[in-house]
Amino acid sequence: MSTLQLVVNGIVYSSVIVLGSIGLSLVYSIGNFANFAHGDTMAVGAFGALVVAIGVNDYLLNPETAVSVSPSIAAILETTLFSLPIWFFVALVVGMAAAAILVVITEYLVYRPLDTGSIELLITSIGVALAYRALLILGFGSDPQTYDIGRSGRIDWVSESLGVAITPRDVVTVAITAILVVGLHLLLQYTTLGRKMRATADNADLARVSGIRTGEIILAMWVIGAVLAAAGGVFLGLDTLIRPRMGFELLLLIFSAVILGGIGSVYGAMLGGFTIGMAFEMTAALPFVGTQYNAAVAFIVMIAILLVRPTGILGDDTT
C-alpha cells in the first residue's frame, strides 16, 4: 500500500477520532471530570442511526410490509448523494439527536443530583457507560450489524490521477467532520454561548458570579459533545460494523488524543485526534512492524511528543 494511500486512510480515520476527542475535551474543561461514558455515547449515536436504517430498509422500502411507502416516496428515499442514500443523512441527524437527548437525561438524573467532585463523577461515568452499553445490548443484541448500504467503490478519476482509493463515503466523512469542526470554532469564538462556555471553562465560579448561568452552559456542553461523538460513531459504523462495544474500544485512543492535544483544550484535542489517527494508520508504512501494533505506535508517538512538550500540543490553552 502506497504512503499516499495511508495518508488518505489516516485522514478518514482521524475524522472519527477528532469528533470523539472534542466532546471529551469539552466535558473535561467545563464539567471538570473525565467522562468514561463518552465512547458509549458514540455507540448510542451509531445505533440511533441504525434505527432509521432498519425502519427504511425493513419496513418503508419493503413492499411486503403494511407500512411500505409508495414508489414515488421510495424513489426519494433511495435518492443518492455522494453514493449514499438520502435517508442516511436523516439517520445521521437522528443519531446525533438521540445521543444528545440521552446525555441531557443523564445529566438531570445522574450527574446533577450528585453535586460532587471530579473523582466521584469519573467513577459515576464508568457506571453510566456500562448502563448505556447494557441498554444497547438489550435493545439490539450483541451481534455486529450494518446500515445495509452497498459500497459504491472508489472514485475513478481520483484513482486514475493520484493512484489512491478514495470512496464517496470517505469524502462524506471528512467533509461533514470539517463542517462540524468549523461550526464549533465559529460557535466558540463568535457567539454569546461560545464566550460563556470559554468563560466557564476558564473559571466556573467567576463565571457564575458574573451572572452566567453555568447550569445552562453545562447542558450546552453535553449536547455539543454528544452531537459530535454521535457523528463520529455513525461514521465509524458506516466504515466498519455497528457493535455495542465499538465506542468503548475506541475510548483509549480518544483519551490519548485529548492528552496529546493538551487536557482542557478543544483545539488541542482536534490536533491530538488528527495526530493519533494518522499515527494509527501510518503504522503500515513502518518496516518490521505489523498493523496489529497500530495502537501501540500511536501511543509511542503520543509519549514522544509529551516528552518534548509535557503539557501537550496546546496544553497552555483552554477551550
| pLDDT-derived band at 169, boundaries 50, 70, 90 | very high
The C-alpha cell of 319 is what?
A: 477551550
Nearest to 168 by CA among 89, 99, 98, 95: 89
Per the prediction, the chain carries an average pLDDT of 91
| pLDDT-derived band at 263, boundaries 50, 70, 90 | confident
Cβ distance 35 to 222 under 8 Å? no
Compute how many other C-beta atoms are within 10 angstroms of the C-beta atom of residue 82.
15
The CA-atom distances, in angstroms, between 9 and each of 71, 150, 166, 208, 221 are 38, 20, 9, 44, 30
Cβ distance 61 to 77 under 8 Å? yes
Q: 152 pLDDT exceeds 80?
A: no
Which residue did the predictor score with more confidence, 88 or 319?
88
The C-alpha cell of 180 is what?
A: 462540524
- Residue-wise pLDDT tens digits, 11-35: 999 999 999 999 999 999 999 899 9
| pLDDT-derived band at 254, boundaries 50, 70, 90 | very high
pTM beyond 0.75: the answer is yes
The Cα–Cα gap between 313 and 317 comes to 9
The Cα–Cα gap between 43 and 298 comes to 22
Cβ distance 298 to 280 under 8 Å? yes
Which residue did the predictor score with more confidence, 152 or 193?
193
**Residue appearing with cell numbers 483519551:** 255
What is the pLDDT at residue 104? Answer: 96
Q: 10 pLDDT exceeds 90?
A: yes
| pLDDT-derived band at 231, boundaries 50, 70, 90 | very high
Compute how many other C-beta atoms are within 10 angstroms of the C-beta atom of residue 142.
11
The Cα–Cα gap between 102 and 79 comes to 30
| pLDDT-derived band at 233, boundaries 50, 70, 90 | very high
What is the pLDDT at residue 6? Answer: 92
- Residue-wise pLDDT tens digits, 268-284: 999 999 999 999 999 98
Compute how many other C-beta atoms are within 10 angstroms of the C-beta atom of residue 79.
10
| Domains of the chain from N-terminus onward | 3-308 (1.10.3470)
Give SS3 for 212. Answer: coil
Task: Quote the Cα angle for 86-160-283, to 5°.
Answer: 85
Q: 318 pLDDT exceeds 60?
A: no
What is the pLDDT at residue 57? Answer: 87
Cβ distance 314 to 32 under 8 Å? no
Mean per-residue pLDDT, 177-187: 96
Cβ distance 223 to 193 under 8 Å? no
Nearest to 20 by CA among 178, 201, 257, 223: 257
Q: 123 pLDDT exceeds 90?
A: yes
